[in-house]
A and B are shown apart, each in its own frame.
Chain A
Amino acid sequence: MIEIEFLSAEVLSQQPGAKKIEFLVGNLRKGKILVLEDPLSLGEETRLIEATMKKVSPNFPGIEIGTLGGTVIGNGGEFRSLRESIIRMLGGKPRGLTVIGPSQLVQQIKKDPESLSWRAGEKTRR
């Protein structure tokens, strides 16, 4: 059975900085697939990879991650795009989402700028 947890922007905003990353890794190690209403920034994704590598074990070999929307690369110099920063300043939420799952549950990911497709299930090893 696969457990998918949808995390609202409010829940994660209560977990600032390193606590947010700890919170995510803790849940991923429990075998949950997480869907984040507020997409992770590129800086947060990097910190998540670092935090994950510190916790890699035979039962938790790592994660798969995919983000739609959120930070756009190619427009120069910020972890969050200008558009996203303005939306946040005005109290709005940027469009997009991040999906993260334990790598042993994620069999295949297909990603393009418009869509994110995941195939999940227990992996069988020979």
Chain B
Amino acid sequence: MIDSIFGWIRGLFGRKKRVCLGLYGAPNAGKTSLANKISMDWLGEPLGEVSRIPHETRMVQQKENVRMRANGFELSMNLLDMPGISTKVDYRDFIRYGLTLEEAQKRSKEATKGIIEAIKWLEKVDAALVVMDACEDPYTQVNITVIGNLEAREIPVILVANKIDLPKADAKRIREAYPQYPVVEVSALKGDNVDLLYDEIARRMR
């Protein structure tokens, strides 16, 4: 009864306008680069460190009250940069990037915890950007599992074809693999087309 009264009052004041926007994807897809771009554009400060070594983001990183404006619509959001989800974490892979054995093992342990944390957040976000490296095969089981889980919870999903500035990029493969979803092609690093992404977010969250 009390819930329905509060629901009615909330209805009077319109829809919830502060949303949790989660950035999901495989390691090194460019999630943090994109989160930094969004955070710089609307808050004037970056969100996290970027690295060529996979699993640089090993804890969920958050910027609260990011106010985005697009298409005459203002959206207040908590921006959540998730650790990259993968099915394997091998410390030996980090050694190839020049980390010491101790550093690699520590990174590996933290990365596994980060993956578990990112999975737990799947049920808490209000909307998600699934970031894919447009140079890589998009039809991976991890991408399918992440998108499917979001869809099962009726969470709006936008696919981001990132790294379109690279010669090998082919966003068409992403559109063909996931024809049911909106795909926005961007270069988070160079800022190309990020305005189109803001338009798409506004359209989906309006």
Which of B92, B141, B151, B178 makes the CB contact (< 8 A) with A111? B141
B contacts with A: majority SS: helix
* Residue in A43, A76, A112 whose CB lies within 8 Å of B149: A43
**A40 to B, closest residue via Cβ:** B145
CB-based contact A78/B88 at 8 Å: no
CA–CA, A73 and B119, complex, Å: 18
Tell me whether A119 is interfacial, beta carbon within 8 Å.
no
CB-based contact B152/A43 at 8 Å: yes
Is A77 a contact partner of B151 (Cβ separation < 8 A)? yes
Do residues A42 and B89 form an inter-chain contact, with CB atoms below 8 A? no
Q: How far is the CB of B96 from chain A (nearest CB, A)?
A: 9
Q: C-beta contact mask, B45-75 vs A, less than 8 Å → 1, else 0?
A: 0000000000000000000000000000000
Contact A103 B88 (CB under 8 A): yes
Interface size on A, residues (CB 8 A): 32
Nearest CB in chain B to that of A106: its residue: B88
Contact sample, A vs B, 20 pairs, CB 8 Å cutoff: A43-B149, A46-B122, A49-B145, A52-B87, A53-B115, A53-B116, A54-B112, A56-B108, A61-B90, A62-B86, A63-B87, A63-B88, A64-B87, A65-B141, A67-B144, A73-B144, A78-B152, A103-B88, A104-B90, A125-B92
Question: CB within 8 Å of B: which residues of A?
Answer: 42-43, 45-46, 49-50, 52-54, 56, 58, 61-67, 71, 73-74, 76-79, 103-104, 109, 111-113, 125
